[in-house]
C-alpha cells in the first residue's frame, strides 16, 4: 500500500505492484505534474512514517474521460520501494471475481460523506455486485468497471479513498473509482476492473 500525495497533501491511495511501479486511478493524476506528486509507503498513519518516493513517470489510460471509464493509472517512482514486513507488492487479478465474492477495500478516506478523512488506515469488507444489477442502480457501468458493496449499505469506500485497492484474498481486483455518496444501500461503489485492464498495466509498466 502507498499513499499518493499531491503537493504534500494527502489526495489518493495507490498500491505497489513492483519495486518501481504503483497503481492508482486516472482521476487521481489527471492534470497533475509529476513534480507535485509523491508516494508514501510502509506506514498506516496518514502523512507520516514510512518512506517517501518521488515520481519519475505517470501514465493514465489514454481512453480515460469524463464518464469515469478506464479510470486507471500507473506511477513509476524515482527511488525504488524497499520490500519488507510493511511494504510488499500486491498480485494483480487476471480473471474477474464472480458476484458475491468478498473483497476488502482500504484507505485513509472519509468515514462518512463529507468528513475530513481518517488519520489511520482503515479497511472494510464488501462483496462483488453483479454488473447488470449495478448498472440498473447507477447506469453507465462498463466491462472496465467492477462494483462492490453490502446489502443495505453502510460499508463502502468514500472520498479520499480514490485510487486505493480492492483486494480479494491476496489479489487486487479493483481500484477505487467513484460512487454516489458513501455506503448508500442502493448505490454500490464502483472500481476500475483490474482483470479487464491487466493487459494495459503490463504493456505500460512491464509489470
Q: Mind telling me the catalytic residues? A: 27, 71, 162
* Cβ-based burial of 203 (10 A; exposed 0-12, middle 13-18, buried ≥19): exposed
Distance in angstroms (rounded) separating the CA atoms of residues 197 and 189: 18
Rounded CA-CA distance 142/132 in Å is 9
Amino acid at each position: 500500500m502507498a499513499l499518493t500525495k499531491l503537493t504534500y497533501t494527502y489526495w489518493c491511495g495507490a498500491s505497489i505492484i513492483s519495486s518501481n511501479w504503483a497503481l492508482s486511478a486516472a482521476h487521481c493524476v489527471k492534470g497533475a505534474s509529476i513534480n507535485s506528486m509523491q508516494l508514501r509507503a510502509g506506514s498506516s498513519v496518514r502523512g507520516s512514517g514510512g518512506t517517501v518516493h518521488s515520481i519519475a513517470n505517470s501514465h493514465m489510460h489514454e481512453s480515460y474521460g469524463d464518464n469515469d471509464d478506464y479510470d486507471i493509472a500507473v506511477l513509476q517512482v524515482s527511488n525504488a520501494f524497499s520490500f519488507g514486513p510493511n511494504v510488499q507488492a500486491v498480485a494483480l487479478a487476471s480473471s474477474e471475481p464472480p458476484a458475491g465474492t468478498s473483497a476488502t477495500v482500504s484507505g485513509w478516506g472519509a468515514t462518512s460523506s463529507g468528513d475530513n478523512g481518517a488519520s489511520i488506515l482503515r479497511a472494510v469488507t464488501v462483496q462483488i455486485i453483479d454488473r447488470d444489477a449495478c448498472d440498473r442502480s447507477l447506469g453507465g457501468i462498463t466491462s472496465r468497471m467492477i462494483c462492490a458493496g453490502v446489502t443495505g449499505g453502510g460499508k463502502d469506500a468514500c472520498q479520499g479513498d480514490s485510487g486505493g485497492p480492492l483486494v480479494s484474498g491476496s489479489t487486487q481486483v479493483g481500484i477505487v473509482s467513484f460512487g454516489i455518496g458513501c455506503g448508500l444501500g442502493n448505490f454500490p461503489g464502483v472500481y476500475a476492473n483490474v482483470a479487464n485492464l491487466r493487459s494495459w498495466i503490463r504493456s505500460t509498466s512491464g509489470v
